[in-house]
Structure 1
Amino acid sequence: MKDIKKMTYRELKQEVIANRCEMTTATIERKRELIRRNHELMVEMDARWNAAEHKRRR
């Protein structure tokens, strides 16, 4: 897995989608890992979105 801070927004989004697809067939332990990873990815995406909105408003 790539470092979240070094990924582009598009890469973050693609990994979230891939993880959601994988969850349908994953074991319980793997689902926990995917949920944790997706949370981290979405928090980073939200932070970037908010930063861009803040810059746009100035």
Structure 2
Amino acid sequence: MSSVAIGLFAGLLLALVAAVGGFDMFMLAVVLAAVGVVVGLAVDGRIDVTGLVSGRGRG
């Protein structure tokens, strides 16, 4: 199983833990699944997030 699929399932699992019902919780599930996919893509090396996580340089 690829890291993207694992990230997607991890996001959905977190959403299921948080979701107890309602449209707001459904939207939370969608957002957490998207975050899981992005993390999986970063782990696979398909996207580069170093510009987002690294701060500005001192110079």
User: Normalized against structure 1, the TM-score is what?
Assistant: 0.44
Larger Rg: 2
Structure with greater proportional helix content: 1
